[in-house]
Amino acid sequence: MNSLFLYEGKAKKVFQYTDNTVMIFFKDDATAGNRAKEAVFKGKGELNASISAKLFEHLHKYSIDTHFIELNGKREHHCHQLNIIPIEVVVRNRAAGTFSKRYSVETGTTLRNVVVEWCLKDDALADPPICDDAIVALGITDVVTLNNMRATSISVNNILTQLFRRVGLQLVDFKLEFGLNEEGKLLLADEICPDTMRLWNNQNESFDKDLFRNDSGDLLAGYRKVEELLINTL
Ligand code: UDP
């Protein structure tokens, strides 16, 4: 089937097919701090495509509806085309990253409840946090959809926390994106991989993009370990 180039982001390229599906190509590029830091890790695209495919397939077993159809080759996802809601949903189990900085909380502090945050997906504004009322006031989406996004994000957190616990990793936090299909149904979109989550072992060592953000170790080795653990478990 012929495809048409649609969009290139920081870590992915998207091509459109004629049947309301898209092909998402996972790049080797890594960026952090809204492009303040950039590098290329040969093989990262394949690892993220593989890990993300496994996680979407795992979520399907628990009836979480996602855009993912199948892995194409080694680094492409064939997915349903959606209208992406420009909100990044961040789910947190432990304090880290911007949460630690914003509230001056020590990294790793256990949170008494799961925290779900919304950020506006807008690179020019550096993805600012946004509250429910502002999202609805600006016409970004409605309250029912927001509630559905929140409930689904909490379910995803429960499922993935359990899965990673089984392989000896802690799911510290992660980012999700959602979209609506042509019938207006809400589906989980984008990717779920070590670029978009924090995963620590029991010594609180990172297996995710913090290896690059903080220059604290070998990014590809970390991502390979996550893939290997999932292959051996799923
Ligand atoms: N995250 C992401 N994309 C973003 C911002 C955050 O995938 O544009 C992920 C990030 O990898 C982490 C979680 O969301 O797992 C929480 O990130 P945080 O808000 O702490 O921001 P960051 O540390 O990326 O500045």
Q: Is 223 in the pocket of ligand 1 (CB under 6 A)?
A: no
Identify the pLDDT of residue 35.
Answer: 85
How far is ligand 1, taken at its centre, from the CA of residue 146, in Å? 20
Residue closest via CA to ligand 1's atom 22 equals 97
Residue-wise pLDDT for 47-75, tens only, equals 999 999 999 999 999 999 999 999 999 99
Q: Which mutation among 90, 176, 213 tests ligand 1's pocket best, with the greatest number of atoms within 8 A of CB?
A: 90
Q: For residue 162, name the pLDDT band (cuts at 50, 70, 90).
A: very high
pLDDT digit string, tens, across residues 168-214: 999 999 999 999 999 999 999 999 999 999 999 999 999 999 999 99
Q: Is 94 in the pocket of ligand 1 (CB under 6 A)?
A: no
Burial class (CB in 10 A: 0-12, 13-18, 19+), 75: buried
| Residue of 52, 94, 98 with the most ligand 1 atoms within 8 Å of its CB, for mutation | 98
Contact between 114 and 91 (Cβ < 8 Å): yes
DSSP 22-64: EEEEEPSEEEETTTTEEEE-TTHHHHHHHHHHHHHHHHHHTT-
Only one residue has tokens 């051996």, namely: 232
The residue with tokens 């909100």 is: 87
The rounded percent of the chain whose pLDDT value lies above 70 is 100
Position 219 pLDDT exceeds 80 = yes
What is the pLDDT averaged over residues 208-232? 98
Would you say the CB of residue 173 lies under 6 angstroms from ligand 1? yes
